[in-house]
Chains A and B, each alone.
Chain A
Amino acid sequence: MQHLMSPLDLSVEELDKLLTLANDIESNPKKYAHACEGKKLATCFYEPSTRTRLSFEAAMLNLGGSVLGFSSADSSSAAKGESVSDTIRVISCYADICAMRHPKEGAPLVASEKSTIPVINAGDGGHQHPTQTLTDLLTIRSLKGRLDNLNIGLCGDLKFGRTVHSLIHALIRYPNINFTLISPEELRVPSYIREDVLRKNNVAFREVERLEEAMADLDILYMTRVQKERFFNEDDYVRMKDFYILNKKKMTLAKDDMIVMHPLPRVNEISVEVDDDPRAAYFRQAQYGVYVRMALILTLLEVEVC
């Protein structure tokens, strides 16, 4: 039985197979409409995340399966003090697969060790969010046609943004990837990403402060939200949140075939005037998130569709 805790749990070959399956689902949704009939997905969300939870639920419903679960710790036995290990043992009796989000880092791994059903990490604190990374990779591969030979700009909160860290980890496995890290001094990537991941693997990167400096060279601009919940001090949040706002004017500096991605939800880092630009890919990205979660559910449940 396989679980998914980190995007790196999948080899490049496994990932390629998964993304190909996701693309086939996109092209032939009817073929998969009954693939998981009679199967149940448990969404165990110990903290609110409407978007990820609904994406998982949509994925299972699209496959003909059903869903059950809870959407906050308050409405689960965790409020009574039940451990993650005990909860997953019980959930294993009710469902065929589980997607778990938890504010504490490593909680889904604890669950996977006691579970008798596949567990998907749907986000554990600031640690991992593998299905977001799979979503990003599927979006890039679908819209750019490749996962190698890319200039990728990562912009915004690069210090606390786990999506950015996971994406870097996942993309360095492909040849000729160049990163441009665009952030204020206070929100630069942590040193372990810079030293242990990028430098150690001889990945080309540069760090800049101004979005305009980077735009012209990019194949992909990945914007991130400055997340309020990552700050201990609200004044710091207010001071930094408007640093990098992508607008029409800045988009004129970009290549015609560049794509703009964002894990969503956005606050104001991408002006709504950019939404109609054909290069804005963030809503399509959300759609790819459903396809890749469908592919993941099929893969972990070992369901084959002919």
Chain B
Amino acid sequence: MLNVGLITEGFVLDHIQAGTSLSLYYDLRLDKLDCCVAIIKNARSNKMGKKDILKVECDIDTLDLDVLGFIDHNITVNIIKGEEIVEKRELHLPKKIKNIIHCRNPRCITSVEQELDQIFLLTDEKTETYRCKYCEEKYKGQKGQRVRLRTHSR
């Protein structure tokens, strides 16, 4: 059994689909943070068989829960204070996501007016379908795969 030390204050993302934690690390921009991050791959899980875990020693407010909810709303967010789990946050599919993914429709107005925010709306919760607010093109990225984030956010 691999032992990773406890974190004093921060958050633990549990039940990450095995093999996707590194993508998540970049998608959440954890690489930009100057804090301690532990990436645990293929940990044993009763529920999932195997899973990934991310332990991050920094304030929960640095985490964009909308991005996380969009990528995988089945992830469990444990908030740690004084080495204890003080709160578990449930993730939901966000109704609207802004400047997280690009519309790839070349006929969309966002393809020519690049100062426009890239906004996607959840149009079908059951099928987890997001559509571009402007052209209604369906986002075709697959869950669990790395999302194609914008290089900057506004």
Report which A residues bind B (CB closer than 8 A). 83-85, 102-107, 109-110, 124-127, 192, 196
Contact = CB atoms under 8 A, between A and B. Distances in A.
Given A104-B109, A106-B133, A110-B109, A192 B115 contact: no
B4 interface: no
B107 interface: yes
B138 A106 contact: no
Interface string B135-146: 111100000000
B110 interface: yes
Given A127-B135, A127-B136, A192-B138, A106 B115 contact: no
A115 to B, nearest CB: 15
Interface in B74-109: 105, 107-109
B138 A104 contact: no
A109 B108 CA distance: 11
4 smallest CB-CB distances across A and B, nearest first, come from: A106-B134, A105-B135, A104-B109, A106-B109
Contacts of A192: 138
A84 B135 CA distance: 15
Interface residues of B, number: 18
A124 B111 CA distance: 14
Nearest to A107: B109
A104 B112 contact: yes
A126 B107 CA distance: 8
B113 interface: yes
B1 interface: no
B5 to A, nearest CB: 49
Nearest to B136: A127
Contacts of A84: 109, 113
A195 B115 CA distance: 34
Contacts of A103: 107
Contacts of A105: 105, 107-109, 134-137
Contacts of A85: 113
B121 to A, nearest CB: 12
A104 B133 contact: no
15 contacts: A83-B113, A84-B113, A85-B113, A102-B109, A103-B107, A104-B107, A104-B109, A104-B111, A104-B113, A105-B105, A105-B137, A106-B109, A106-B133, A109-B109, A110-B116
Contacts of B53: none
B134 A125 contact: no
Q: Among A84, A105, A109, A196, which residue has the most Cβ atoms of chain B within 10 A? A: A105
Nearest to B123: A196
A124 to B, nearest CB: 8
A107 B134 CA distance: 7
B133 A125 contact: no
Contacts of B133: 106, 109
Contacts of A109: 109, 133-134
B136 to A, nearest CB: 7
B132 interface: yes
Contacts of B111: 104
Contacts of B134: 105-107, 109-110
B76 to A, nearest CB: 31
Contacts of A104: 107-109, 111-113
Given A105-B135, A105-B137, A196-B124, 5 more contacts: A105-B134, A106-B109, A109-B133, A110-B116, A110-B134
A124 B112 CA distance: 14
Contacts of A102: 109
Contact of A125 (B107, B110, B124): B107
Contacts of A126: 107
Nearest to B129: A196
B9 to A, nearest CB: 41
Nearest to B114: A83
A103 B116 CA distance: 17
A103 B106 CA distance: 11
Contacts of B137: 105
A85 B137 CA distance: 21
Q: Among B109, B110, B112, which residue has the most Cβ atoms of chain A within 10 A? A: B109
